[in-house]
Amino acid sequence: MKPDFDLTKVLNRIEEAIRPFPKAAMFDLFERGYNSLFEQLISCIISIRTLDETTIPVSERLFAVARTPEQLLTLDASTLADLLYGTQYPEQKAYTMLGIAHRIVEEFEGRLPADFQTLTSLKGVGPKCANLALGVAEGKAGISVDVHVHRVTNRWGYVQTRQPEQTLKVLETKVPGERWIDINRLLMPFGKYICTGTLPHCSTCPVREWCEQVGVTRHR
């Protein structure tokens, strides 16, 4: 018989367990000084279908040349795609970024408003990147559900959902607002290094006592 799920204890245990591992890319970039909302949004676009190990150096390569919408607009699409080399879909991401920079300059006088509706109205920006950028850069409560958050919370039995969008809706009703940003900060590395997609490390997992291990048939 499992004890009642205690989110505070679970997150505290995970905080300790992930300490030896690298931080999630956007939190890492924030600590490196790339902490504006625009930079965080651009890094999140770089991170789409791209490993953190690539997202971080590619972001730094781009920010060495352009850190603001105005600076980004001095690049043509082909130069920008070259700077994004190594990520998935560099050409598409270059067009997306130029479109975003253009709108920020034209509509918002170069300053991106820290607001979910505005961010998600930008072509190519979904709830995941909007919430993550707002959370990391602005400290605004928001849950960003990536593959790790979706997988881990379903394995716990904390949510029972098929799509990340559904997971987001359920988590918003169950997780206290002051822990929303921790969901990303903690579960991304936890899902990457401990509750891995295949063969999760259940035998040494610090939160196993609360976890229903839904769908886990084999583990380490």
For residue 201, state whether it binds ligand SF4 (rule: CB under 6 A).
yes
Among 194, 198, 199, 218, binds ligand SF4 (CB under 6 A): 194
For residue 14, state whether it binds ligand SF4 (rule: CB under 6 A).
no
Among 119, 129, 181, 207, binds ligand SF4 (CB under 6 A): 207
Report the nearest approach of ligand SF4 to the CB of residue 155 (Å).
4
Nearer to ligand SF4, 5 or 116 (CB): 5
**Looking only at residues 147 through 176 of this chain, which bind ligand SF4 when binding is defined by CB under 6 A?**
152, 155-156
Nearer to ligand SF4, 137 or 187 (CB): 187
Report the nearest approach of ligand SF4 to the CB of residue 50 (Å).
24
Q: What is the DSSP string of the chain?
A: -PPPP-HHHHHHHHHHHTTTSPPPHHHHHHHTT--SHHHHHHHHHHHTTS-HHHHHHHHHHHHTT--SHHHHTTS-HHHHHHHTBTBSSHHHHHHHHHHHHHHHHHHHTT-----HHHHHHSTT--HHHHHHHHHHHH--------HHHHHHHHHHTS---SSHHHHHHHHHHHS-GGGHHHHHHHHHHHHHHTS-SSS--GGG-TTGGG---TT-----
Report the nearest approach of ligand SF4 to the CB of residue 14 (Å).
9
Nearer to ligand SF4, 164 or 200 (CB): 200
- The residues of the shown chain that bind ligand SF4, judged by CB under 6 A, are 152, 155-156, 194-195, 200-202, 205, 207-208, 211, 213, 216, 219
